[in-house]
Chain A
Amino acid sequence: MTLLIEDTARNNLASWTCEGVQHGSIDGAVLSPFTTPRTRNKYKQSGRQTADRLRADGLVAHFDAETHALQMPNVGDFRYYNSWPLWGGAVGDLSTPAAIRDHVERVFAVQDELGVPHLGPTILLHSPQSAESQTALRLAETAADLDGNAILSLTGDSAFWASRAPLDAHVGALAQIDAAGWSLTVVRQFTVLPVPAMAEEVHGLCRTARSLSDYADVHVSHGDLTALPAIAAGAKTLGTGWDPRQRVAAYASYETRATGSDGGGWFQQVTLEGILSLLTHGEATVLEQQNAALAARILPGLVPPGPKEAFFHHVEVLDRVIAGLQIGDHRAAYNNLSTLYGAGTADWPAVAADANIASRANAWLSGVSAGLGLYGQTEGF
């Protein structure tokens, strides 16, 4: 299994996830208290109903308390969050060991209510050496103390993941906990694709995935295409979906929403396996019309007609790429992904010319490719 579908503001998490299994190796879905209500309303099913629906189809459900969203600037979309009993005192108060323990116990109790595995909460880190990183370590230790089989979380912004030796030291302290699994998240400012991934941040995520995966399964939450280097470094699964909010963990996803709209317009961009990039539906259609052979090779196949088909195609692409990276040892995975990035960079000029657009190779591939390269240097590949 290689994919977990992240929660969505739309009401189709269970249905599309269950259908998506026919298109790729989907393990299940991750519910969020920010986008799934505890009790059913006229628009969305309850968390328990969604979890049950997934399990009925043989999939797993997770519940990520996303405590790390509470530290984001302008967080304000609490419509569903406040329905979950995650806090005994003030929301977000982790100032004492007792408050930390109470919060973790409440998160686990909610997960028990949903019948999902224990996934320990964490906070958003900007630096791996700070009072906040100490709190994150205490949260992880407390979760492991309460349940030695819990999956633990590590969440930071780009600066956190790019901080080299201090990051490695923090991860070293976490590794002492000997968790059953790890969920890693890179948080960004904006919900935009392509993700503006910095090379050093990708390098940090790779080093972390490489070291933690020696002992436990590593998942990259909201990782999508940007997490492929981490997969090459040893991560087992990544989070994805049909909307950008499922593919990027960003401040903007948790801000107060101006209207009652939950879903907004459908995301129709098309994933092209050969260049590990997205094109708009219109651009992909032009490419297909101008150079059908190239389009068929790099999509591969035909342009998906709608958002649902685009999601299924995206799942197929991710599944194939990840499967290719999980054959052989770490060096082989690194070489495979380097080759894919090289091929994608080489194909972008032709894609741009035939689709009549400027090349976006730099935006899609430069950061992740450079980060993978730094990881390769660190490993001596």
Chain B
Amino acid sequence: MDDAVWQEAEAVLGVEDVRELGVGGQKMVRLVRRDGNECVLKVVGIESDAPDALRRAQREVELLKALDSDHVVKVESDLVEIGNPVVGASWLEEYLDGVDLADELGAQWSWDDTRKMGREVALGLGAMHEVKVVHRDLSASNVRHVDGGRYVVMDPGFARHTLRSGLTVGGQPGTLGFLSPEHLQAYSGSPTPSSDVFCLGVLMYTALTGNQPIPFTGDPGEYLGRLLDAEIPDVAGIRPDLPAPAVELITSMLHPQPARRPRNGNRVAALLEDLH
């Protein structure tokens, strides 16, 4: 993506550039300032033959803008098209300090810490699910642990829908190691809120055990085969200290049949609340 694209995005959205936060492939993230406040500019390149993806992204940005959740990154602008013909899409989000969840995983977490993380991410997902938005790409890099201690869900799948790269065999956005079995499906079986629940189960399982339930070890084909089987080592075998209801919940969230999982983020949050 050349500089002209994000420079046009900054002009269209009326923001002042501060510095680059990240860049990769067809995506660019920059810290910008608008009306004296810092926010994040996101720009994605769009292939000219993906108008459906763009329309879907616009719809989801519209829905997310209407959300008011402490646990979902705030979208602060409409999605705007860049170029004529369109070569990119851009929007503004709130700037979050802190660290990615990915930076905190590795050692085994306590149940209380895992429960807090799970509940807050579930609340974020639940807010999205209420407006019929499925994240589709929940991973440890898409959850921010901000300095105040709050967990915030970032990068809902709308961004990835504008990209051809990074899609799974089912045409879904997602991150290897954090996919649900439905990421392998297209048509009617593609990800639903219960797929986000599975991905949250992956995060909680990883926090509790230090390992992903279905780890990606470098071979996508081999990983997807294991994902299809969804055979997961029993969390209770790795963490015998966990309370039985906690084990039951984590296991249900990682059930290979989506209809057997808690239906959505709010349901998971309620169940975690009950596990106080």
Contact = CB atoms under 8 A, between A and B. Distances in A.
Interface stretch (B24-32, B76-84, B256-264): B256-264
Q: Please indicate which of the listed interface residues B184, B186, B195, B258 has the most CB atoms of chain A within 10 Å of its own CB.
A: B258
A176 B194 contact: yes
Interface in B188-207: 188-190, 192-195
Contact of B257 (A131, A134, A172): A172
A168 B186 CA distance: 13
Contact of A129 (B185, B193, B259, B260): B185
24 contacts: A128-B189, A129-B185, A129-B187, A130-B187, A130-B188, A131-B187, A133-B188, A134-B188, A136-B188, A168-B256, A168-B259, A169-B182, A169-B185, A169-B188, A169-B189, A169-B190, A170-B189, A171-B257, A172-B192, A172-B195, A173-B189, A174-B259, A175-B259, A176-B193
A137 interface: yes
B12 to A, nearest CB: 33
A166 B185 contact: yes
Q: Please indicate which of the listed interface residues A130, A170, A173, A174 has the most CB atoms of chain B within 10 Å of its own CB.
A: A173
Contacts of B188: 128-130, 133-134, 136-137, 169-170, 173
Interface of A: 128-131, 133-134, 136-137, 165-166, 168-176, 178, 207-208, 210-212, 214
Contacts of A166: 185, 189
Interface in B241-269: 256-260, 263-264
B181 interface: yes
A176 B192 contact: yes
Binding site of A, secondary structure by majority: helix, strand, loop or mixed?
helix
A208 B182 CA distance: 16
Q: Please indicate which of the listed interface residues B181, B184, B194, B257 has the most CB atoms of chain A within 10 Å of its own CB.
A: B257
Contacts of A128: 188-189
B257 A168 contact: yes
B23 interface: no
A92 B263 CA distance: 33
Contacts of B195: 172
Contact of B259 (A131, A133, A165, A172): A172
Q: What is the interface residue range for chain B against chain A?
A: 20 to 34
Contacts of A173: 188-190, 192, 258
A211 B257 contact: yes
B228 interface: yes
A184 to B, nearest CB: 13
Given A173-B192, A176-B192, A165 B185 contact: yes
Nearest to B264: A176
Contacts of A212: 259
A128 B186 CA distance: 10
Contacts of B228: 165
Nearest to A127: B187
Q: Please indicate which of the listed interface residues B184, B188, B256, B263 has the most CB atoms of chain A within 10 Å of its own CB.
A: B188
Given A168-B258, A169-B258, 19 more contacts: A129-B185, A130-B187, A130-B188, A133-B187, A165-B185, A165-B228, A166-B185, A166-B189, A168-B181, A168-B189, A169-B181, A169-B185, A171-B258, A172-B192, A176-B192, A176-B263, A207-B257, A208-B259, A211-B260
Contact of B181 (A131, A165, A174): A165
B186 A172 contact: no
Nearest to A131: B187
Nearest to A136: B188
A214 B257 CA distance: 13
Closest 5 CB pairs of A and B: A172-B258, A169-B189, A211-B259, A175-B259, A133-B188
A147 B184 CA distance: 32
Contact of A178 (B181, B190, B260, B263): B263
A245 B80 CA distance: 58
B260 to A, nearest CB: 5
Given A165-B256, A168-B256, A175 B189 contact: no
